[in-house]
A and B are shown apart, each in its own frame.
Chain A
Amino acid sequence: MLQIKKLHKSYPIGNTSLHVLKGIDLSVEEGEMVAIMGSSGSGKSTLLNIIGMLDEADSGEYILDGLLIKNLTEKKAAVYRNKFLGFIFQSFNLINYKNALENVALPLYYQGLKRKERQELAMFHLEKVGLTNWAHHLPKELSGGQKQRVAIARALAANPKLLLADEPTGALDSTTSHEIMAFIQQLNDEGKTILMVTHEEDIANMCKRIVRLRDGIIIEDKKINQIRAGQHV
């Protein structure tokens, strides 16, 4: 599904440069649910951004679904992001003047689907996250958990191969966090490959594999016994 070899990334800071990723080797199989952990500055977000094609590595190899991701033009990157990846952000990043349904339909719009198909597909995904009745509400009328569910529905809408979540529960209280995690686990059960960045141990333990980063290198990579989020609710 995903192979990363000897990935390096550094950011220029003034005259010096900050070496953020110092040779990452990582491979993820289809159907896995991986938590990337680390303290702030460990490079976990940078890694996720490179995987999400929002950023580019200085050196190393990144293969997604058999496709070498390298020297992408902005246009190509946009098309790949749309086709292969679904993003879930900590701060939801819904567009505030669009209602839930329109937000979910947005990636489909960029796929060039017709309005009617978009609406139907978006409705289908909203139903999946249990927000059919909230389809025509603006984000400001939704609770944090509902917003994140809309965001998940949006990430799923384009039927991506890989879901990337950046601290998906970071802005939520623990009850809502567990609700969201239960939902993400359910998606994983259905076969979606999921990669999430988190710094919360209990959230990481709900995944099937934990990769720990420190100062730009992987210090630990282990499979764990998944804790079902439903047990907490």
Chain B
Amino acid sequence: MFRFLFDRDTWQEVFDSFNKNKLRSILTMVGVWWGILLLIGLLGSARGLENSFNRLFGNFATNSVFIWGQTTSKPFKGFQEGRQVRLSLTDAKKVEENVEGIEFLVPRNQNQATVIRNFLSGTAQISGDYPLLDKVQKKKLINGRFLNQADIDEKKKVAVISEDTYKQLFEKDVNPIGEYIQINDINFKVIGMYEVGAINIGSSTEINIPFTTFQQIYNQGDRIGYMMITGKPEYDISQIEQDAKLLLKNLNNIHPDDKRGLASRNLGTDFARVTGFLTGMQFLTIFVGVATLIAGVFAIGNILLITVRERTKEIGVRRALGATPFEIKRQIVVEAVFLTLVAGLFGIISGGWILIWLDSAFGQGDDAVIVNASVSILVVFAALSLLVVLGTLIGLIPAFKATSIKPIEALREE
């Protein structure tokens, strides 16, 4: 059946017909080439953007939600509206025990404070944290270590500072580890310094101190600023958010329908919005690419139609010599598929070059906009098979045109 594909004559004829209309064939192949180029180039760039977003979010558990208290907007159980809600460690513990699907729950306390070191001073966000924070919001430590359980247990006056805080308080090239800084006139020993990621919730000039130390110096008692919850991968973070909020409303005597009493921010939905945008972009790319491809393939069909018209007499001679209509059609379809495939392969190669160029121009370094712009081999194969299918379909039009005319009429053609 496919023996003809390995026959020199089949290809001889494809090349002969190509050579006869070199310029025209090349111009029409440009259409398909451009379509594939767009498809590969745009899909690769979209992937590069997605990778870069993923990297930005990478330090953050994206299936996490923040919950904190605000003022109530509805009276409930004898409480008037307008009451300030403050969540507590007890609340946090209850949520952790009762809500299904929680991987980590991290209570945090935060405050603004003036920080002084020798003659330098600055304002920083002071966070009272548990070591667990490092699991949820990965700290890229440049120096030293993050908080540990001993710091919590002994209410140590130690601090982990962000790079931006370091820049405010230290001269260049001074090793901060072991140095002391003053927060609200209390000395803290610096035990670690970390880099701030490109996406960061809150201030970039942050200082993390043990939760228990924070409790004590700011006289917080049981209260917490907010809790950060990450869900297990198999659970839906929005469901966890709902469950946790309902439980917290119960514990804090907030009306179940009160929309203001508790506030939350779901990173999962934020993240989904960005990835949704990227998915949309990919869809658009595929649409544009495939539409261009189809236009290109139509151009190839068009050129073959003209070629067939010019070769009417030749086709007549061949049929007089015993070529069956099937053999004539097959030859024309092979030509169509060949042209689309060659144009497509050139498109894939030049699309690849564009991605290589994008990578070298925008893909280097830590804050690259496009990371590892690439197209999966599956997409390439899908595009190629789409080309074969489209080429075959479009080739059938001139093929039927070629055999619709009777050999006797074809022979009379001058």
Give A contacts to B, CB under 8 Å: 49, 52, 54-55, 74-75, 78-79, 81-83, 87, 89, 93, 95, 97-98, 102, 106-107, 109-111, 115, 154, 158
- Contact yes or no, B314 A79, CB < 8 A: no
Size class of B's contact patch?
20 to 34
- Contact yes or no, B323 A78, CB < 8 A: yes
Q: B325 contacts which chain A residues (CB < 8 A)?
A: 74-75, 78
Partner of A74, one of B9, B317, B320, B324: B324
Q: A82 contacts which chain B residues (CB < 8 A)?
A: 321-322
- Contact yes or no, B408 A89, CB < 8 A: no
- Contact yes or no, B319 A78, CB < 8 A: yes
- Contact yes or no, A110 B323, CB < 8 A: yes
Q: For B15, give the chain A residue with the smallest CB separation.
A: A97
Partner of B322, one of A78, A89, A97, A115: A78
18 examples of A-B residue contacts, CB within 8 angstroms = A54-B406, A75-B324, A75-B326, A78-B319, A78-B324, A79-B324, A82-B321, A82-B322, A83-B322, A95-B317, A95-B318, A97-B20, A106-B321, A107-B321, A110-B322, A115-B7, A154-B321, A158-B322
Shortest 5 CB-CB distances between A and B: which pairs? A82-B322, A110-B322, A54-B408, A78-B324, A107-B321
Q: A109 contacts which chain B residues (CB < 8 A)?
A: 9
Q: A54 contacts which chain B residues (CB < 8 A)?
A: 320, 406-408, 411
A93 in contact with B322 given A74-B403, A110-B327, A115-B8 (CB within 8 Å): no
Give B contacts to A, CB under 8 Å: 7-9, 12, 16, 19-20, 313-314, 317-327, 403, 406-408, 411
Q: For B19, give the chain A residue with the smallest CB separation.
A: A97
Output the least CB separation between A154 and chain B (Å): 7
Bound CA–CA A107/B19 (angstroms)? 23
Which of B324, B327, B403, B406 has the most A CB atoms < 10 Å from its CB?
A: B324
Bound CA–CA A102/B9 (angstroms)? 9
Bound CA–CA A75/B321 (angstroms)? 12
- Contact yes or no, A81 B320, CB < 8 A: yes
Contacts beyond the supplied A81-B319, A82-B322: 13 A-B pairs with Cβ under 8 Å: A54-B406, A55-B408, A74-B324, A74-B403, A78-B322, A78-B325, A87-B320, A106-B318, A107-B322, A109-B9, A110-B324, A110-B327, A158-B322
Output the least CB separation between B189 and chain A (Å): 88
Q: B318 contacts which chain A residues (CB < 8 A)?
A: 95, 106, 110
- Contact yes or no, A111 B322, CB < 8 A: yes
Output the least CB separation between B315 and chain A (Å): 10
Q: For A54, give the chain B residue with the smallest CB separation.
A: B408
Bound CA–CA A185/B149 (angstroms)? 113
Q: A107 contacts which chain B residues (CB < 8 A)?
A: 321-322
Q: For B407, give the chain A residue with the smallest CB separation.
A: A54
Bound CA–CA A95/B317 (angstroms)? 8
Bound CA–CA A75/B325 (angstroms)? 6
Q: A93 contacts which chain B residues (CB < 8 A)?
A: 313, 317, 320, 411
Bound CA–CA A220/B53 (angstroms)? 93
A97 in contact with B408 given A83-B322, A115-B7 (CB within 8 Å): no
Partner of B321, one of A81, A97, A102, A115: A81
Output the least CB separation between A133 and chain B (Å): 22
Output the least CB separation between A55 and chain B (Å): 5
Q: A106 contacts which chain B residues (CB < 8 A)?
A: 318, 321
Bound CA–CA A97/B21 (angstroms)? 13
